[in-house]
A and B are shown apart, each in its own frame.
Chain A
Amino acid sequence: MGHARARPAILPDAIILVWLHLRSQGIAATPNTEILMERKIRVLVAKPGLDGHDRGAKVIASAFRDAGFEVIYTGLHQTPEMIVSAAVQEDVDVVALSVLSGAHMTLFPRVLELLREAGADHMLLTGGGIIPEEDIEALAGLGVGRLFGPGTTTTEAVAYIREWSERQPQDLVG
C-alpha cells in the first residue's frame, strides 16, 4: 500500500486562469477553497529510533488518510537523517513522529535541526507518544509543534494539522 503521487504542488495554470476569469466576472469573489484545497496536506508519519511499537503510528496514518491527507509512512527503525531525507524528497507539509521509547529529547531536536539544515523548516514537526508534560514544553520552546499523549483521539490530531495548514501562507495562488 502506498500513496498516490498525482498531486500538483502548484495549482495548474488552467485552474488559476479560470478562477481569475470568474473573479473578474464577479462570479467568484473569494477563492473557492475546494479548488484551492486540491493540494492535499501531505504528512510523513515516521517511527524514529529503535522502538518497534507501531500501533499508534499505523492507526494515526490510517486516520490521516481517512481525513483526506496524503500519507507516507516510513516504516520502523528510522534514523533522523532517513526521516528528513524522506520528508524533503516527498515534499511533505507535516512530519509526524511516533516515539514511545523515551528517546524523544534526542530524536525531536535532531529531526528539527536536520529539517532546518535542509531548508525545510516550513514543515510542521509534530508527533505523539509517551512524552512527559515538561518535555513537551521544552520541545515546544525549540519549535516543535503539538505533541499528543496517550488517550488522544485521532480527530484531535487531524483537526490540529488542518488548523495549522489553514494558518499557513497559501503559496498555491501566490
Chain B
Amino acid sequence: MSTTEKEAERNADGIAAEISRREAELHALRRELAEWYARYEATPKRDDLFTSISGHEVQPLYTPLDTQDLDYLASIGLPGEFPFTRGPYATMYRTRLWTMRQFAGFATAEETNERYKYLLAHGQTGLSVAFDFPTLMGYDSDHPRSLGEVGVCGVAISSLADMERLFEGIPLDEVSVSMTINGPAIILFCFYVAAAERQGVSADALRGTVQNDILKEYQAQHAWVYPPEPALRLIVDMFAWASEHAPKYNPISISGYHIREAGATAAQELAFTLKNGFEYVERGIARGLNVDEFAPRLSFFFDVHNDFFEEVAKFRAARRIWARRLEGEYGARDPESWRLRTHAQTAGVTLTAQQPQNNIVRVAYQALAAVLGGTQSLHTNSMDETLALPTEKSVRVALRTQQILAFETGVPNTIDPLAGSYYVERLTDELEAEAERIFDEIDELGGVVPGIERGWFQAEIAGSALRQQREIESGRRTIVGVNDFEEGSDKVEIDTLKIAPEVEQKQRQRMAELRAARDAEAVERSLSALRLAASGADNVVPYILDCARAYCTLYEIRAAMEDVFGSYKEPVFF
C-alpha cells in the first residue's frame, strides 16, 4: 500500500468515525429531547396561540434535529454565492449599508420636491415617489374621475411638465429614484426618462426602479388599467428597452408588499410574489429575450411584518428559491440573474391608530428583521400613517430609526448573523416548502393569469385577512393598545398632515395652461403613432417617449393605448 492509499484509508476511517460520533450525538439528543418534552407537557403554559402571524404552529424548542438534513453548502452557502440564502452580495453591509429610502409624495410636484430636498439633506440616500390615486390609475388631475383625490395620497403627475418640476434641482444621474406606479407605469417611466433628458442626463446613467408589477395589482392592490395580456406585453417592452438603453435601471420591482398588506400570510406573500416573478421571466423568454439579458435587472419588494423570525426567514427563503429556479428551470447562466435583490418596507397594516407612538417601536423591530433578512433598501413607516400622510417630524423619526440601526446597534457588522439558528434555518426550509406547494397549486389552476381571472388569488388573500381579523376580534391575537392595554380615550395625540383643497384647483389650472401652450399638432401626431404601434408588435417605449416629449398628458397616452387594448374588469366577490 502506498502512502497516499494509506492516507486515504485513514481519512475514510476518520470520516466513518465522525459519522458514527454524530449519529450517537443525535441519538442521545433525541432521547434527552423526549424527556424534555415530557417535562414541557407537564408544565403549565400561558394561554396563547403559539403560532406565527401567518397561522403556523411554532415549536417551543428547535435543536440540531431540525437541521440535520440540511446540506450547508447546497442550501445555505456563503453570502454572494449560490443559492444566496445568506445574502445577494459577498460583503453585504460591510461594503454598503442598505439604501434608506422613504416613500414620499403629496400635493403638487413643487411641494414634494421640497420634501425630497429635505430628506436628502437629512441623510436619506435614495428617493421614492408616491403618486396620488388619479396618477396611479392613469387619470389627469383635471379628469372628472380625479375629483377630490388630486394630490391627496401622493403627488399629482399628469405630464412631463409635472415630472420636470418634481425633480427640479435634483440631479437624476446622482440620486436613485424609485417610482411606485403600475397600471400606467410605462407612461410615468417615459416622463421620467424625458425629464432626465431635459436635465442633460441620458437614460444609461439612470439608477432606480419603477414598480411596474401588474400581476400583484390584479391580485391585491387593484391599480390596473389594461387587461393582463396587453399589460404584460407593455412590461416586456420595458424589459427589452431598459436592457438596451437603461442598463442600470430596474424596470420592475416584483412586489409582495401589497399582497401581504391585503391580508396574505408570509408564505402566500413569498409564493405569489415569486410565482409572479417566474411569470415575468417566462414572458420575457417567450418574447425571444435571453434570460440573462433582463433577469439581472428584476428587483423585488417585500413587506416586513411583526412576526420577527418568520420575516427574516422569508427573505432568506426568497433568495434561495429564486436562485434555484432561475438556474434550474430557466437556464440562467449569469450569476446576476440568480441574485434576488430586494427593497423592504415595514408593514403599514400593523400600525395602530390607538396610541400611535407605539408604532415607532413596531417599526423598529420590523426594520431590524428586514436588515437581518438582508434587504438592499428599506422604507420605515411613520407612526402617524394610519391617520394621514406622515408629517415631516414623524418621517424624521422613521428615518432616524434606520440610522440608529445602521450606526449604533452593531447589527450590520456580521453578515446574516441568524444563519445556523436551528429555528431560523428550519423556518427558512418550511417557508420554501410551503411556497413550492403553492406554486403547484397555481400551476393546477393553469398559471398566474387564469388564477387572477378566476379570482383565486383574491379569494386566498381575503380569506387570510378574515382569519387574522377574527383572531384579533376574539382576543386570541393581542394588538397592544387595540384589544389589550387600551387607554380610556382614543384621542389622537399627534399632529397630522393636511392637504389643502387648493391643490386640486392649482393642478387643474396648470393643466389648462399646459393644454393651451403645447403644440397641438405634435400631440396628435405622437398619439396616432402610438396607437398604431400598440396595435402592431413594435416596442411602444420610443413612441410613448415621443408623446411625453410632446407634452401629451398621462390620460391622453393611457387612452390612446386603451383604444387598442381595452380596459380590465375585475371579478367582483367577497
Listed in ascending order, the chain A residues whose CB lies under 8 Å from chain B are 1, 45, 49-55, 57-59, 61-63, 65, 71, 73-77, 79, 101-103, 105-107, 130, 132-133, 149-151, 153-155
Contacts and interface: CB of A to CB of B under 8 A. Distances in A.
B397 interface: no
A130 B222 contact: no
A105 B389 CA distance: 16
Interface string B120-133: 00000000000001
B572 A58 contact: no
Given A71-B574, A130-B387, A151-B482, A103 B152 contact: yes
Contact of A50 (B139, B353, B466, B469): B139
B139 A62 contact: no
Contacts of B351: 150
Contacts of A76: 222, 570
From DSSP, what is the main secondary structure of chain B's interface residues?
A: loop
Interface stretch (B53-61, B142-150, B160-168, B240-248): B142-150
12 contacts: A52-B222, A52-B223, A58-B574, A62-B462, A62-B574, A63-B469, A102-B152, A102-B389, A103-B148, A150-B352, A154-B469, A154-B473
B261 interface: yes
Interface residues on B, range: 35 or more
Q: Max chain A CB contacts within 10 Å: which of B134, B137, B147, B479?
A: B147
B388 A102 contact: yes
Contact of A58 (B137, B149, B465): B465
The 5 closest A-B pairs by CB, nearest first: A106-B148, A52-B222, A75-B572, A50-B133, A102-B152
Nearest to A109: B148
B83 interface: no
Contacts of B492: 132-133
B262 A101 contact: no
A108 to B, nearest CB: 10
B387 to A, nearest CB: 7
Nearest to B351: A150
A155 B473 CA distance: 8
B560 interface: no
Contacts of A79: 145
A64 B353 CA distance: 23
B262 A55 contact: yes
Contact of B145 (A50, A63, A65, A73): A50
Contact of A130 (B133, B388, B482): B388
Nearest to A74: B572
Contacts of B202: none
A39 B574 CA distance: 22
B221 A50 contact: no
Contacts of A102: 149, 152-153, 388-389, 499
A98 to B, nearest CB: 11
A125 to B, nearest CB: 16
A73 B573 contact: yes
Interface in B135-181: 136-137, 139, 145-149, 152-153
Nearest to A54: B222
Contacts of A151: 352-354, 386, 479, 482
Contact of B572 (A59, A65, A73): A73
B390 interface: no
A155 B475 CA distance: 13
Contacts of A154: 469, 473
Interface string B339-371: 000000000010111100000000000000000
Contacts of A103: 133, 147-149, 152
